[in-house]
Structure 1
Amino acid sequence: MKANQPAASPVLVIAAFAVVWVVWGSTYFFIQVAIHGFPPMLMGAVRFLTAGILMLVWCFIKGDKIWSRKDIITSGLSGFLMLFIGMGIVIWAERSLPSAMVAIMVSTNPIWFVVLDKDNWKVNLKSKSTISGLVLGFGGVFLLFGEAIFKSSQGAFSREQLVGLLLLLIGPIAWCSGSLVSKKRGSTAPARLNTAWQMVIAGILYVFAGAIHGETGAFHPTEIPLKAWLAVSYLIVFGSIIGFSAYVWLLSVRPATQVSTHSYVNPVIAVLLGTLFGSEHISILQLIGLFVILFSVLLVNLTKYSFKKSKAVEKILV
């Protein structure tokens, strides 16, 4: 562990990884359920504003220093990149694409961590496995695009879906940029407070986006089906408050490349939920693309993983 990373209980680290791996994998399915009742941008506003305000109240009760200009600016920037741009693209893309397909595209996150982490280029790009992983990962993405373009030529893939796929190339870049901002700029505030401000600021931006898109005038809460409200409630409590808090906290105590390993599990969970409960169809080529991307992520991070268990972890496992 690096000197600038605080020590953390191995039990909490394992629990946080489990939450980020499994819970976040399920959010793709619940986002699609939610946007079948909510206008997409206003769904994001309801989700993140509610979760952010609840967390700010909790931080106030815990005695945190709520108003810190430097911390709010850092949280605002990372929240803009991760939750508004990165997650906003996911929400928008799921209007026309299966949730499992979106999760597969987003699984390239760890690849972009390596590409964007300029401070560690000298180390990362010396590894043959990392270079091979980058090439293979982008090959997997092109494989998915090739299938989409072929289907489009056959009339089985709409222009809106192609635009969604293109936007999903930008989403992981924004997410990883925001994650690196959160990690490198640092903060004296607890992770829960940084998370709260990230969500509040992103939620406000979603309100403006919804107004610009004309969603506010057509929004009638009483007309939203119960299952959409339940899906948003799940996203607020588990996806945002619990899941995102665990993610931000992990960034403060573990290397970003290790935290990004949630990308191995998230798309698998998303594919299972989408096919079993969402009646989504995933083609053989899409599954091949998924495994190619996940294998590339393994290669990219191969040199970062330590196969030596710490004494603390060994005690937990015994």
Structure 2
Amino acid sequence: MSATKQPHAPALLVILAFTTVYIVWGSTYFFIQQAVHHIPPFLMGSIRFLTAGILMLGWSILRKERVFVWRHILTAAITGLLLLFIGNGLVIWVEQFLPSAMVAIMVSSAPVWFVLLDRPKWQENIKSKSTITGLISGFAGVILLFWDQVRDSFQSSADDNKLLNLFLLLIASVAWSGGSLYSKYNSKAGSAMTNTSWQMIAAGIAFIPGCITTGELKNMKWETVPAEGWLALIYLILMGSIAAFSAYVWLLQVRPATQVSTYAYVNPVIAVLLGVFFANETVSGLQVIGLVVILGSVLLINLNNYRKKRADRQVAASIE
């Protein structure tokens, strides 16, 4: 992988994409848990990603895009397996056993892995005090945000199953970060929509063996799934996959990976705020501190990118 210059993108589209990823993915913790309560995890993942991928591929075909280019499909499939099958799939599986607070904290380690795995940007990122400080403080802020739940969780019996699930979440974060960077540096050809479609289709197919070997498909009683289970799945397909994931893949192409990775810090904030506004949940003083720390960390991470853009403009102006 070699470092390349970021393509130019309209500021309004970038803001809209970030807003979609921040808000929609902040709500998916709740909807994933709602869905897996009624639809087994492998089956839910397969339906979600196959449906979203086929819908998007159909739209690409209607737009007369080149969708059956083997080398593009292969790159997209590798990305989809890392991001959606391993990264998101492990999160879906673990949400059966761990509280969403623990899942959110472990998933929020992704920005750290972005920096460690993004070799072309090592010199730029590691030398940036604002980026490193932002990454560390952001993770600390997420821990403060869910401190009460973490404390209660560790006060209960710490069995091997819990430790295994935490380890699986660590693998999920590494796979998600690695897949994101692979997509950033290798998905240059083909439209973003077509590439995203094949990523989802590959992940959806990868879930099928799990559906069969675990007996999920054979034992599934579709008539027992309540309306809230179907609504949660529809939300994950339309908003979590088609809208937010497409925005995320596009952002990886037009913005620095460290900046895009801030979703992992903002999503838990959105999840807490949604609980306050729509579920009558309360926020403690410690959580308020966590919210402030997280927002400050996002500003710090973006500060380095702002300075770099300002320096580039000054260089361009001096040349002119």
TM-score above 0.5, yes or no: yes
Give the deviation of 1:138 after TM superposition.
6.9
The 1-side partners of 2:139 and 2:25 are apart by 23
Amino acid at match of 2:218: G
- Give the aligned partner of residue 214 of structure 2: 213
Which residue in 1 is equivalent to 2:26?
A: 25
SS of the counterpart of 2:218? coil
Partner of 1:316: none
1:271-302 residue CA offsets vs partner (Å, 9 max, x unmatched)? 33457767999998888778767766655554
Q: Which runs of 5+ in 2 are unaligned?
A: 314-320
1:33–1:157 Cα change, 3 Å = farther
Show the counterpart of 1:198.
Answer: 199
Q: What is the rounded CA distance, in whole Å, between the counterparts of 2:167 and 2:25 in structure 1?
A: 22
Q: For the aligned residues, what is the CA RMSD?
A: 3.3
| Match in the other structure for 2:173 | 172
Cα shift at 1:223:
1.6
Q: How far did residue 215 of structure 1 move?
A: 1.3
Residue deviations 1:118-172 (CA, integer Å, cap 9, x gap): 1111222223344445566677799999999976774355543332222222211
The SS at the match of 1:216 is helix
Gaps of 5+ in 1: 312-318
* Structure-2 change in CA distance of 1:213 and 1:306 (3 Å): farther
Measured against aligned partners, the alpha-carbon deviations of 1:24-71 in whole angstroms (never above 9, x if no partner) come to 111111101111100011111110000001111111101011111111
| Residues 52-94 of structure 1, C-alpha deviations (whole Å, 9 max, x = no match) | 0111111110101111111111101110111011101111121
Deviations 1:208-243 (A, max 9, x none): 122222212211222211101000000000110111
* Aligned residue type for 1:101: M
Aligned partners of 1:258, 1:175: CA distance in 2, in Å?
Answer: 15
Q: Could you tell me the TM-score, scaled by structure 1's length?
A: 0.83
Corresponding residue for residue 262 of structure 2:
261
Aligned amino acid, residue 112 of structure 2: I
Q: Which amino acid aligns with 1:78?
A: T
Q: Is 1:238 matched up with 2:239?
A: yes
Counterpart-to-counterpart distance in 1, 2:63 and 2:167:
43
Deviates more, 1:57-66 or 1:12-21: 12-21
Equivalents in 2 of 1:11, 1:297: separation in Å?
19
Contact 1:100 1:270 in 2 (8 A): no
Equivalent residues of 2:80, 2:179 under 8 A apart:
yes
Q: 1:134 to 1:58 in 2, by over 3 A?
A: closer
Cα distance between partner residues in 2 of 1:278 and 1:207: 35
Q: 1:147 to 1:213 in 2, by over 3 A?
A: farther
Cα distance change, pair 287–106 in 1 and its aligned pair in 2 (3 A): farther
Query: What is the alpha-carbon distance in structure 1 between the residues aligned to residue 277 and residue 75 of structure 2?
Result: 40
Corresponding residue of 1:52: 53
Contact 1:107 1:264 in 2 (8 A): yes
Q: Does the 8 A contact of 1:107 with 1:293 survive in 2?
A: no
Q: Distance in 1 between matches of 2:47 and 2:106?
A: 25
State the alpha-carbon separation in 1 of the partners of residues 36 and 283 from structure 2: 20
Give 1:314's aligned residue.
none
Distance 1:218 1:279, change over 3 A: farther
- In the other structure, the counterpart of 2:318 is none
| Contact 1:28-1:100 at 8 Å conserved across structures | no
Partner of 1:224: 225
In the alignment, which residue of structure 2 is the partner of 1:249?
250
The sequence identity of aligned pairs, in percent, is 54
Deviates more, 1:263-272 or 1:185-194: 263-272
Which whole-Å CA distance do the structure 1 matches of 2:281 and 2:154 have between them?
A: 21
CA–CA distance in 1 between the matches of 2:145 and 2:14?
34
Give the counterpart letter for 1:258 in structure 2: Q
Confirm whether residue 181 of structure 1 aligns to residue 182 of structure 2. Answer: yes
CA, structure 1 residues 303+41, in 2 after alignment: closer, same or farther (shift >3 Å)? same
SS, match of residue 6 in structure 1: coil
Aligned letter for 1:188? A
| Structural mapping, 1:275-314, within 5 Å | 299=300, 302-306=303-307
Deviation at 1:255, TM superposition (A): 1.7
Q: Is the 8 A contact 2:133 2:300 kept in 1?
A: yes
* 3-state SS, counterpart of residue 170 of structure 2: helix
Kindly tell me the number of residue pairs found equivalent between the two proteins: 308
Whichever residue aligns with residue 196 of structure 2, its letter is T
Q: In the TM superposition, what is the alpha-carbon distance from 1:261 to its structure 2 partner?
A: 2.2
